[in-house]
Amino acid sequence: MKSVAALFISLGFMFMATAQDSWNITHNGKMRLQAAEEAELKNTFSLRITDMNKKGSLVLAYKEVEGEKDWVRSIMVVSPADAELASFKGTTVTIQNASLRSLFKKSGILKLYTMSLPSDPAKAALVRVRRIHLATITLTK
């Protein structure tokens, strides 16, 4: 009987361990990407130039399963040459199409990354930071 209870407890921990953050990206109200794992080749989509000329926006919503208390999440837009084009604080980012067009003028491909740091600068200095690739966006005709 104890072994059955141990099995259920270990399965419970296994399911809790597999819970992970997820994110979705919509453009002009249309779902473009839903993901829960970092996969640079898979998490890629393109936007049409004609859709960029419409009134609307790109919305990235990042859902943390277990967010660290007093940590600040950042979402960055980066060029393929690793130059940061824009940065936002929080788990939800809205970029209007006009701003998105100007970002595409700076770089033909946009990469979205996220990272989280403690809000206390002393603690942030001790943390090793790794950015997580969320998506790569290309522009098509």
Do strands 92-96 and 44-48 pair parallel, antiparallel, or not at all (unpaired)?
Answer: unpaired
Model pTM?
0.83
Q: Give the pLDDT of the chain (141 residues) as one tens digit per residue.
A: 555 444 444 444 444 445 689 999 999 999 999 999 999 999 999 999 999 999 999 999 999 988 778 899 999 999 999 999 999 999 999 999 999 999 999 999 999 999 999 988 898 889 888 999 999 999 998
pLDDT 10s digits, 57-78: 999 999 998 877 889 999 999 9
Q: Which amino acid is at 14?
A: M
